[in-house]
Amino acid sequence: KNQVEQSPQSLIILEGKNCTLQCNYTVSPFSNLRWYKQDTGRGPVSLTIMTFSENTKSNGRYTATLDADTKQSSLHITASQLSDSASYICVVSDRGSTLGRLYFGRGTQLTVWP
Amino acid sequence: EADIYQTPRYLVIGTGKKITLECSQTMGHDKMYWYQQDPGMELHLIHYSYGVNSTEKGDLSSESTVSRIRTEHFPLTLESARPSHTSQYLCASSESGEQYFGPGTRLTVT
């Protein structure tokens, strides 16, 4: 069964600190992995996308890594800001259908305190 | 920011009412999607469309229906709302694999 598991479920950090969010998946055949940021009451917004051959991708203070062998990904946030408070969702796409089906994790709820 | 819009953003309605959630995109994308998301849970695909006059049911069974008469418009209808339909409904569109999400509609059925 194709699944995406994220940890931790929730995380509280102080402003300025770094943090790392984890994602494990069993989706096969693998196409790509995305990290989305979802603010409360809003739709998800894409942060990074990585294909099988990529093992790291950065977007400002966000750096995602991918280990396709162990089927693990992480999202590292550097120098956190209050605006980073959101849910971070790991999404894996398979290449077994023309739809490009997406499999969503439940997200990590990050809260940044001043 | 993607040009995909959903209305209303919030809706509180009584049991048995018929409702339509609107979704529009101005990017000319052929593929569009409806997802349902409960708090703290993952998004579940309930409907998708490859283009005009094409609609399919997603992974999660839903009593809602959709239509795709125009490329830019993908409304979702519930003929008789029930409290079990209370959820957040997210619309998305895609081209070349990247999905762009609307802001969502928070539906509460009392």
What SS3 class is residue A82? helix
Chain A neighbors of B90, CB-CB under 8 A: 43-44
B62 compared with A113, residue with greater pLDDT: A113
In the predicted model, what is the mean pLDDT of residues A91-109?
82
Report the C-alpha gap between A76 and B41 in whole angstroms: 22
Nearest to A43 among B31, B50, B104 (CB): B104
Question: Could you tell me if B43 and B34 are in contact, meaning their C-beta atoms sit under 8 angstroms apart?
Answer: no
Output B97 or A87, whichever has higher pLDDT: A87
C-alpha to C-alpha distance for B47 and A39, rounded to whole angstroms:
23
- A68-to-A48, A72, A108, B41 alpha-carbon distances in Å: 16, 7, 21, 25
What local confidence, expressed as pLDDT, does residue B62 receive? 83
Question: How sure is the predictor about A100, in pLDDT bands with cuts at 50, 70 and 90?
Answer: low
3-state secondary structure of A101: coil
Radius of gyration (C-alpha) of chain A in whole angstroms: 14
Cα separation, B49 vs B31, whole angstroms: 5
Largest CA distance in chain B: 40
Mean confidence (pLDDT) of chain A: 92
* A107 to B40: CB separation less than 8 angstroms, yes or no: yes
Query: Are the Cβ atoms of A99 and B99 closer than 8 angstroms?
Result: no
Q: Is the pLDDT of residue A88 over 60?
A: yes
- Cα(A64)–Cα(A58) distance, rounded to whole angstroms? 6
CB of B23 within 8 Å of a chain A CB? The answer is no
